[in-house]
Amino acid sequence: MRIAVSGSIATDHLMTFGGKFTDTLIAEKLDKISVSLLVGCVGPDFADYRHWLESHGVDTSGVRTSATRQTARFTATNDEAGNQIASFYPGAMSEDGEIDITSLAAANGIELVLIGAGDPGAMQQHTADCRAAGIPFAADFSQQVAFLDGDAMRTLIEGAAYLFCNEYEAAVIESKTGWTGEDILARVGTRIITLGSEGARVERRGEDPLVVGPVKDATFVEPTGAGDAFRCGFLAATAWDLPLERAVELGNLIAVHALETVGPQEYELKPASLTDRARLSYGDEAAADIAAHLPA
């Protein structure tokens, strides 16, 4: 299966706050604190990042280079409990709507489009184009969940093959759309809710939820990129035609690697250790199924 991944392409700048945000924020004054800032000081750095992505096997031929804007930049400060305050400069992400997802899919044999957090207008456009062309798509609001309204969410969810979210995002989506969990399952094929240290839950209409526990030997270091890493593992297993339970297990295994490293792409996956961790957490059969698709 060939999968196209849309969303923001950004450089991340990560910082650590010595303590917990909850120790210094006053509950009655949260309406006065600024936790979201636009930052416009960036350089033309995508050439080096493109080279790095391609050297790791990522096809960047569908990436559009802006003539006037710089690469988006994400800046985050995390406290010792994993809470995060972030600012984001969108830059060239504002031109995502100029990408023709239908033509790109046709030219590259795309079988699934992950519509990740990016320019809200482009997310709407890509969703509508996939729906009109009959291309399966996955909805992944991620950090845009705070800015999309109910109408936008309903449009982005309708007909999705997969809806990815964490527990908080799931609650926000239900609140903003006015839909219950059952209402959402009537409109999507599969809803995957990550549960942090508890693993993940998969929901499908008319079926009992599938809960997959966490990786047993995980050591928390820094949370940025864990959600994206989970989706990477889940979709890789899906592309290998592994069953849903294996997809969640591999998602959890990849997410742990991001959690154990500072930076969303700084970890290294080694087939032997990945297989060992799969065996420790999910058993011999799971390890064998995953190992069959890894390099020797």
Q: Looking at the annotation, which residues are catalytic?
A: 228
Q: Which two tokens stand for residue 290?
A: 């995953």
Three-point CA angle 281, 236, 270, nearest 5°: 55
**Which residues have CB under 8 Å from 122's CB, separation 6+?**
6, 96, 97, 99
Closest by CA to 249, choosing from 285, 222, 209, 295, is 285
- Burial of residue 208 (CB within 10 Å: 0-12, 13-18, 19+) is exposed
**20, containing H or E segment:** none
Distance separating the N- and C-terminal Cα atoms of the chain: 21
Q: State the Cα–Cα distance between residues 180 and 56, nearest whole angstrom.
A: 41
